[in-house]
Amino acid sequence: MACPFICVMFAKVQVGPEMRRGIAELNGEGEVAGGVVILRSGKNAREVIAAVKDKLETLKSSLPEGVEIVTTYDRSQLIDRAIDNLSGKLLEEFIVVAVVCALFLWHVRSALVAIISLPLGLCIAFIVMHFQGLNANIMSLGGIAIAVGAMVDAAIVMIENAHKRLEEWQHQHPDATLDNKTRWQVITDASVEVGPALFISLLIITLSFIPIFTLEGQEGRLFGPLAFTKTYAMAGAALLAIVVIPILMGYWIRGKIPPESSNPLNRFLIRVYHPLLLKVLHWPKTTLLVAALSVLTVLWPLNKVGGEFLPQINEGDLLYMPSTLPGISAAEAASMLQKTDKLIMSVPEVARVFGKTGKAETATDSAPLEMVETTIQLKPQDQWRPGMTMDKIIEELDNTVRLPGLANLWVPPIRNRIDMLSTGIKSPIGIKVSGTVLADIDTMAEQIEEVARTVPGVASALAERLEGGRYINVEINREKAARYGMTVADVQLFVTSAVGGAMVGETVEGIARYPINLRYPQSWRDSPQALRQLPILTPMKQQITLADVADVKVSTGPSMLKTENARPTSWIYIDARDRDMVSVVHDLQKAIAEKVQLKPGTSVAFSGQFELLERANHKLKLMVPMTLMIIFVLLYLAFRRVGEALLIISSVPFALVGGIWLLWWMGFHLSVATGTGFIALAGVAAEFGVVMLMYLRHAIEAEPSLNNPQTFSEQKLDEALYHGAVLRVRPKSDDGGGDYRWSAADSVGNRSRVRGDEPDCRADDWRHDHRAFAVAVYYPGGV
């Protein structure tokens, strides 16, 4: 007769948790349940965050009493702050450029021709951005900001040349009245005279960003939008220069054109430039020697200027990611997390702290229990203590949170996520030790950790331990198992189900499904001794214990294995502070080579941001010379003379001198950002040279005696050069003023961009101070 059995007859039925793999904590007050919103690739972060906020508002009414939803990290605040700030600076920049154009052209309607080219060019750029799917962010708007000053260059030069030709016509026909047809013809001739060279010069600026388009990975995604928007804006400006600007000049440049000498600003510039140019023309070789020596002076600041992948960006929030040794229990992890959060909250500038250790309930998070990620929301800057900066807050946090076994790391949240996705390293500098023997890898990593702590600029260093895990091994004795009619698979199946648990069913509770697991009670499996006494029923119906067929013992092994190129690898996390990354890495390489003896089969490689910097430098070293060759070909096509093309190319180093000295003076480091600024500078310097050389050629061609070897004289040449250089001060100065506008706009408000992007602007800012000297002096003296 069949007898039904129910679970309670032979087992204890209870609801139990799964193994804890993650812990969340808020403000040092205790554990909480946390959620993470994952943005799909290619989606607009600002729109998604706004939709999430709306959804959270609708959920509040359905929450149980005493339960609330607290936002612990909101990227939209950074996005809104950055976009609003940069948009305001773009408006200020536009106004300053307009004022500069009006001051130099000294003619309202002529200035309007140059000014109107800005919104038209920007509309072209924004239309292309829309169809390409580029969002308005810091970098895309930054590309617009860099291009604005250069976009009016062609319009300014064409307007000035039209002024000059109209003024000459009046001098040649003092008793005649300029009719509409003649005025259009004069303006057309003036446009044709300078149009091709201006188009080539704007095309050079556009092509100068080719190296930026070839950047890969993080740096490519970051600077790609900047390169695209700047290219679109400059391409639009080039199109407007040859199509729209001449038409606008024909309609708007009317009435009496003020002579260049009537502008007090132009008179002042000519008065300053006149004696300098006379000395240059009198001592051309000395001028070239001084110019060459000025280039050599950059060797000193280059040796003093450090290097980094990208400047630190103040995101407004911080991420605390300490490194600790493996093997920590869930209870210890929870206690440590609460202690660190409470200490962080003690700093007055901290508004909220959300700590997480271990992994989230998602398949994409593989973090071990000892991996801590604490998001720190800071109060608005106007609520900080007087004199407090982000660096001072990090220093105070680092001194406050000091627990044994923790190596502190304070990083910007977004920057850290990008770095981890790119290299897997959470710290700015990472060292990877690879080999074949785990013990040798651990030994080398520990030695490098000790050496790294002695290097100046290293704030913390911690090496992962491959061999730090504790395991209970069940080693099955095949002979003993065979005596009882059991195979290795039979014993393994028993251990898996009795100790690990066997899923025998599933229960549905509402919309959730929960597994039903069957296994031995906790007391039967909580120690090696208890495991040895686990009862086993053999196929021959004999009652034996696990100790009869297997050895149960505790052993050590790797807590987690990482491999690269099929080789086990240990990572060493290094945080650098108060010193540039490249200098720290160079000292680390030197110290490791001198003090660490690598064992056979092991190797050391640097990773983190240094790896990204090396990749970007390698790409730029390849592409910059190729781009210069393309620009040289364009210059040759424009002037049909190799010497003149070489003259313009050789002027580019002179334009870089001022930027390099300024980097040293302001304490910035060389990085991909400053490299982008110097590339933009080189393109504009070449454009400036094209315009200057064009004027000098026109001046020489206008003097008939210089075209005949019989009548050629040095005096006539000097007079022609003087005429081409001094009497063309206005367009060159106005062109330069178009970029001085950025410094003026930058001083009106706080900053045009967050601090991390400043070097990109600063290298491009000061260029005209030195470029005006290099080109305006070097070209007449060189010719």
State the DSSP string of 356-411. Answer: EEE--SSTT----TT-EEEEEEEPPGGGSPTT--HHHHHHHHHHH---TT-B--EE
Q: Which among 408, 360, 359 is positioned nearest to 560, based on CA atoms?
A: 359
In this structure, what token pair is assigned to residue 495?
């251990």
Nearby residues of 341 by Cβ (< 8 Å), 6 or more positions away: 25, 26, 27, 28, 353, 355, 374
Judge whether residue 744 has pLDDT over 60: no
Token pair 């202690």 in the structure block, residue: 339
Split at pLDDT 50, 70, 90, the class of 520 is confident
Split at pLDDT 50, 70, 90, the class of 21 is confident
Return d(Cα 486, Cα 693) in angstroms, integer. 94
Q: Judging by beta carbons within 10 Å of its beta carbon (0-12, 13-18, 19+), is residue 170 exposed, middle or buried? A: middle
Q: Which among 144, 107, 150 is positioned nearest to 738, based on CA atoms?
A: 150
For residue 766, the model assigns a pLDDT of 37
Q: Provide the 3-class DSSP secondary structure of residue 539.
A: coil
Split at pLDDT 50, 70, 90, the class of 770 is very low
Return d(Cα 66, Cα 360) in angstroms, integer. 24
Please enumerate, as own/partner, the contacts of 365-370 that have beta carbons within 8 Å and a separation of 24 or more: 365/22, 367/22, 368/326, 368/559, 368/560, 369/20, 369/21, 369/22, 369/23, 369/328, 369/329, 369/330, 369/333, 370/324, 370/325, 370/326, 370/327, 370/328, 370/333
For residue 762, the model assigns a pLDDT of 39
Judge whether residue 522 has pLDDT over 90: no
What would the pLDDT profile of 611-658 be if each residue is shown by its tens digit? 888 888 888 888 888 888 888 888 888 788 888 888 888 888 887 888
What would the pLDDT profile of 401-450 be if each residue is shown by its tens digit? 988 878 888 888 888 887 777 777 888 888 999 988 888 888 898 899 99
For residue 281, the model assigns a pLDDT of 75
Q: Which CATH number fits domain 77-296+641-782: 1.10.10.10, 1.20.1640.10, 3.40.640.10, 3.40.50.80?
A: 1.20.1640.10
Between 117-131, 193-207, 331-345, the lowest mean confidence (pLDDT) is in 193-207
Mean of the per-residue pLDDT values of the chain? 80
Instruction: Please report, for the chain, how many H helices and E strands are present, in that order.
Output: 27, 16
Q: Give percent of the chain with pLDDT exceeding 70.
A: 90
Which one-letter amino acid corresponds to residue 81? R
- Backbone φ and ψ for 379, nearest 5 degrees, come out as -70, 160
Split at pLDDT 50, 70, 90, the class of 726 is low
What would the pLDDT profile of 159-206 be if each residue is shown by its tens digit? 888 888 887 888 787 777 778 888 888 888 888 888 888 788 878 888
For residue 316, the number of C-alpha atoms closer than 13 Å in the C-beta half-sphere is 17
704 vs 773 pLDDT, higher one: 704
Q: What architecture does CATH give domain 470-558?
A: 2-Layer Sandwich (3.30)
DSSP 610-648: HHHHHHHHHHHHHHHHHHHHHHHHHHHHHHS-HHHHHHH
Split at pLDDT 50, 70, 90, the class of 376 is very high
Return d(Cα 572, Cα 591) in angstroms, integer. 15
What is the mean pLDDT of the segment spanning 671-676? 82
In this structure, what token pair is assigned to residue 733?
């100065």
Q: DSSP letter at 31?
A: B
Per-domain boundaries in the chain: 77-296+641-782, 470-558
Judge whether residue 560 has pLDDT over 80: no
Nearby residues of 339 by Cβ (< 8 Å), 6 or more positions away: 28, 403
Split at pLDDT 50, 70, 90, the class of 748 is very low
Q: DSSP letter at 769?
A: H
Token pair 């302001």 in the structure block, residue: 666
pTM of the full structure: 0.72
- The pairing of strands 350-358 and 317-320 is unpaired
Token pair 């959270």 in the structure block, residue: 56
Q: Assign residue 578 a region (left: φ > 0; alpha: ψ between -120 and 50; beta: otherwise).
A: left
